[in-house]
Amino acid sequence: MNLEYFFSLFLGGLTRGSIYALIALGYTMVYGIIKLINFAHGEIYMIGAFTSLIIGAALAMSGMNPILIFVLACLAAIVYSAAYGITIERLAYRPLRKAPRLSVLISAIGMSIFLQNYVLLAQTSDFLPFPLVLPNMKFLKPIEHMMTTTQFLILISTAVVMVLLTILIKFTRMGKAMRATSQDKDMAQLVGINVDRVISMTFLIGSATAALGGVLISSHIGQINFYIGFIAGIKAFVAAVLGGIGSIPGAVLGSFVLGLTESFGTGYISSDYEDAFAFIILILILIFKPAGLLGRKENEKV
């Protein structure tokens, strides 16, 4: 068994894990606050990828610096997807705030199907090449066969997002309001927290990180279509459940566990079972720890 192969699989796993984490954050945060599995979340990721492709292509015609194009396309994707996230919440979830949870869930699934088909009609069903190729970074030259520039970028940006998010949740006023809302929504309102605003903010943050994930992974893989959100969404959802849905560190941990499992599984066993590994590990963990790795058992309040 050769060490270099092991490391390239390890780095590949971390890259996958990072992307899953960027998406899983949105699932877990939304679940933590309004106890909803937002099935339209994967579509947000896909819309992020499409937005950056469109904006990037438009800017490329002006002959701008590729790094600048990439940054601008990223920002456009984040802003546009965040707007989508907030709008979806307004239109499809807020009117159902008092309805049974199942109704909201159905609404989320409907939203997901609608967005997929909307992009299918507005764009195309074909795979589109994603040409935002960044120049290779010089200092990565010696390990280029193990880690590419985009992989490096994915790892760094995920780390930055995690740190920023931790600061936001631990130390800011909005973070405190979010934690309070996730613990007891009614009580939060009674101490003056505008819960609707907190929920909007949660959707905004979740959508922004998902969009970032969408742009990064697309530039890594090099092609996108309207269906990528579905698979990525399901995987990230598995990661969030694996780590304990509702818990942010749990989602990150679950994502890395999942990413590494997939990477080593495909590398050492067979790539035919790529998607199966995700679900095998999900089943195993849920048998032994039903609340997920870092999840807490939910006590029903009387």
Partner 1 sequence: MSDAPVLEVNDLSMVFGGLRAVDNVSLNIKKGEIVALIGPNGAGKTTFFNCITGVYIPTHGEVKINTSEGSAVLNGLKPNVINEKGLARTFQNIRLFSNMTVLENVMIGRHQSLKSGILSSVLRTKKNRIEEQKVIDDSYEILRKIGLEMYVNELACNLPYGAQRRLEIARAMATNPFLLLLDEPAAGMNPQETNDLVELIERLRKEEDITILLIEHDMSLVMTLSERIYVVDYGKMIATGTPEEIKNNKEVIKAYLGEDIDA
Binding site for partner 1 (CB under 8 A): 164, 167-168, 172-174, 176-177, 179-180, 183-184, 186-195, 201, 302
Minimum distance, C-beta of residue 185 to partner 1, in the bound complex (Å):
10
> How far is residue 38's CA from residue 195's CA, in Å, rounded to a whole number?
18
**Is 225 in a helix, a strand, or coil?**
coil
Which of left, alpha, beta for 298 (phi over 0: left; psi -120 to 50: alpha)? beta
Between 91 and 164, whose beta carbon lies closer to partner 1?
164
Minimum distance, C-beta of residue 92 to partner 1, in the bound complex (Å):
21
Between 88 and 193, whose beta carbon lies closer to partner 1?
193
Structure tokens at 8: 């390239």
Minimum distance, C-beta of residue 296 to partner 1, in the bound complex (Å):
9
Minimum distance, C-beta of residue 89 to partner 1, in the bound complex (Å):
17
Between 88 and 188, whose beta carbon lies closer to partner 1?
188
H/E stretch holding 129 reads strand 128-129
Phi (first) and psi of residue 244, to 5 degrees:
110, 95
- Using CA atoms in the order 228, 271, 264, 230, what is the torsion angle rounded to 10 degrees? 20
**Residue 269 is which amino acid?**
I
Between 186 and 298, whose beta carbon lies closer to partner 1?
186
Structure tokens at 200: 């909007």
- Using CA atoms in the order 105, 201, 162, 236, what is the torsion angle rounded to 10 degrees? 10
Between 245 and 281, whose beta carbon lies closer to partner 1?
245
Minimum distance, C-beta of residue 183 to partner 1, in the bound complex (Å):
5
Minimum distance, C-beta of residue 177 to partner 1, in the bound complex (Å):
7
Question: Quick check: 31 and 240 in contact, CB under 8 A?
Answer: yes
Between 96 and 195, whose beta carbon lies closer to partner 1?
195
Structure tokens at 53: 């492709």
> Closest Cα partner for 251 from 89, 9, 19, 10?
19
